[in-house]
Structure formats: C-alpha cells, structure tokens
Structure 1
Amino acid sequence: MSRANPAREARHRQRQDEIIAAGRRCFRQSGFHAASMAQLAAEAQLSVGQIYRYFVSKDAIIEEMVKRIIDTRLQHIKETATADLPRLLAWRHALNEEDEALMREVAAEATRNPVVARMMAEADNRMFTQACQNVKRDHPEMSDEAIRACVEVMAVLTEGTAWRRLTPQKASADRLYTLYQQINTLLFRTED
C-alpha cells in the first residue's frame, strides 16, 4: 500500500480552493444556472479539462462550495446559545454576506436541478440536527418532539431573516429584539 504524497495532496487541495474561489465569483455574478464551465475556467485561469481533474462536474463544485458554507455555519451554531437568537435576528446579523447570497443562488438552482435540491436537503438535515443538539444542550428538560418543533420555528425565523436582508428593515431593531425575546421565551419554556 503506497503512502499519499503530502506535498501533492496540498497542491491538489490548493487547486480545489482556487477553483472554488473562482466558482464563487462566477456564481455570484451569473448564478449557478447561467455560469458555464468555460466561464469558470477563465476565472480560475485554467482549462475546462484541468477543472475536471479536480471536480467531475459543475454540480460537484457547487456541492463542495455548499459543504464548506454549511461546515462554517455548523461551527457557528455549535458555538451559539439559543438565547442569542433574538439579538441575531433583530439586528439581521449575517455570518457571511457572500455565503448568504450564494445560498440564495443554491436555493434558486434547487428549483431546477434535482442534484442541487438533494444538496439543499442534506445541508438542511445537517443544520437541523446540529440545532437540535444545541437546544438539547441548552434545554435538556425538553422532549425531542418539542425540540424539533422549536428548531423548525427557529429555522423559519432565521431563513426568513436572511431573505429580509435584501430589503430595508422597517421596524427598529430594539423593538424587534423585544419581540424575538418573547418568542424565544415562549419556545423554550418548560413543558407543562
């Protein structure tokens, strides 16, 4: 059994990173659907054939990009308490604005492409599972059913807020914070 060459693996990973970075720029500019492999190759300063050495398809590039965005979000979720949600929602905090925009592109592409729709479903499952683990950590007294319901409501609030970032906020963040705190209190109260 031969050992992998660490220098070669590092070069391979670096080239993948460069392709992902070029893909992010192309997808932000043209959308996933309209961005061509030729456009991506030009942006990465590679030939299309060279890109196919690292990714078997445009969908594979999208999948790796989504995986990286979700990995970052999962790390953030692990480090965030459920009590922090009202503040994040009220002031419309985004972990990464570019990632938010790219995930909107992914959502649009998922309506046309079943492979990307599967990626979205897998990403959602990963995020939902981690959020449930966080709620269980912060509220061990809650039943699994109650946790799933609370996480579903939190997901709707969070994802809705991500879409609302596209428009000017129409209520004061301070007032929204109070409302979100009330929702949080309702969601995470001890079950009767």
Structure 2
Amino acid sequence: MSKPDNLTFLQQRQQLIISAAKNCFSRSGFHGTSMADISRESGLGAGQIYRYFCSKELLVNETIKSIAVSWRVFLATNLPQQTTTKDIIDAESSFWQDWPFQDRCLLLEMYSEASRDASVREMLAHQEQLLVAELDKQFAQKSPGASPQTRTNRIQFLLMLVDGVACRAFGEKKVDQQELKRIDGILSRHLLQ
C-alpha cells in the first residue's frame, strides 16, 4: 500500500472507531463505556482499536475534539444567519436541524468531562477562541457600524443561549411565547443590531 493510500486507510479507520465511540458514549457516557463496547459497536477487535488509539483516554479526547470541531463549524455557519432568538431557543427549529440529537447529548458529556479534565478544558477553550474570532469577523462584515464591544456582547450572549438550549435538550421543550417576544425585542434593540 502506498503512503497516501495508507494514510487514507488510517484516517478512515480512525473515523470508524470515533463514530462507534460516539454511539457508545451517547448511550453510556465516557466513563460508562468500555473498550469492549466500542469494539462491538465498530466491529473491530480491541487489538485493532488499540493500534489506532493507544488508550481509552486518547480515544475519549479525540472524540471530544471531533465533537468540539463540529460544534464550532455548526455555530460559525448558523449563528450569523439568526436575527431572532426564537429559532435558537426552540430545540426543534430549523436552526438545530443540522445538529443531530446524539451530538447534543455528547455536548453535555463533553462539558462534564471538561469540568474534570484540564486538557479537555483547554481543547474546548481553543475551539471557542477560534469560534469567537470567526463570529466577530462575520458580525463586523454584517454590521460594520457595531462597536467591538457590541459584537463581543452579542457573541457571548448567543453562545450562552446556544449552550443553554443544548443543555436543556432533555428538559422542558415548551417556551413562553410572550416572554420570547419580549426578549427578542430587547435583543433587537441592544445586541442584534
């Protein structure tokens, strides 16, 4: 096998394992999933998995990195298109359509892991820095008259809102429409211009 073919095969195999790990982690969490579970899910032997990921910790970290990068790309694509909070708050809206429910579950698991593991916190902080910089560029183009502080406020608010909705994925789905309308009005005047 040539080097490019070998690299492609390596990347495909790693993605297969990460995909299987995501399925397992979304059902049982990072700490409730064994390598045997991932082996069964992927159809690969444990020895084959260890050839690509030398430890479960490394596999967890690579899975978290995959989720965090996807989350950043999703938000960088979707947040600049929103002008109201309604689509963001409604977990069933078109805003969330391209973000699978399984990945929302994994976000919670990922944030939980970050509370225990400094390397995960650093990884997530890096992805957030990239996201904030990208959103700031997009918002500066969209609203050239907005001050840097206004853009920063908008970005931070939207990120808190999105994180809250993602964390609420298992909870109450009903939203008070009057309150939502009031919040939209405030945001339109102060943050979303």
After superposition, the Cα gap between the structure-2 partners of 1:124 and 1:44, relative to the gap in structure 1 and judged at 3 Å, is: same
Instruction: Judge which range, 149-158 or 118-127, deviates more.
Output: 118-127
Q: For structure 2, list consecutive stretches of 5 or more residues without a partner in the other structure.
A: none
1:12 paired to 2:15: no
Q: Percent identity?
A: 26
Q: Which residue identity does 2:67 align to in structure 1?
A: I
2:110 aligned residue: 106
User: Does the CA-based 8 Å contact 2:136-2:152 persist in structure 1?
Assistant: yes
Secondary structure of residue in 2 paired with 1:165:
helix
Counterpart residue identity of residue 35, structure 2: M
Q: 1:179 to 1:66 in 2, by over 3 A?
A: farther
Please tell me whether the aligned partners of residues 89 and 177 of structure 1 are also in contact (alpha carbons under 8 angstroms). Answer: no
Structure 1 pair 132–176 and aligned structure 2 pair: CA distance change class (3 A): farther
User: Which residues in structure 2 correspond to 1:17-32 (within 5 Å)?
Assistant: 17-32=15-30
> RMSD of aligned C-alpha atoms?
2.5
Per-residue deviation at 1:101?
0.5
Q: Contact conserved, 1:86 with 1:181, CA < 8 A, in 2?
A: yes
Q: Relative to structure 1, is the Cα distance of residues 62 and 137 closer, same or farther in structure 2, using a 3 angstrom cutoff?
A: farther
List, as ranges, runs of 4+ consecutive aligned residues in structure 1 with deviation greater than 4 Å: none
TM-score normalised by length of structure 2: 0.80
Give the gaps of 5 or more residues in structure 1: none
Alignment of 1:38-117 (within 5 A): 38-80=36-78, 81-92=80-91, 93=93, 94=96, 95-117=99-121
Q: Measured at CA, do residues 60 and 53 of structure 1 come closer, stay the same or move farther in structure 2, by a change above 3 Å?
A: same
1:97-155 Cα shifts (integer Å, max 9, x gaps) = 11110010111122222222222222322332222222222222222233222211111
Separation of aligned partners in 2, 1:175 and 1:69? 34
In structure 1, C-alpha distance between the alignment counterparts of 2:71 and 2:141, rounded to whole Å: 18
**Shift in CA distance, 133/59, structure 1 to aligned 2, threshold 3 Å:** farther
Alpha-carbon distance change, 22 to 79 in structure 1, aligned in 2, over 3 angstroms? closer
User: What TM-score results when the alignment is normalised by the length of structure 1?
Assistant: 0.81
Measure the CA separation in 1 of the matches of 2:125 and 2:76: 20
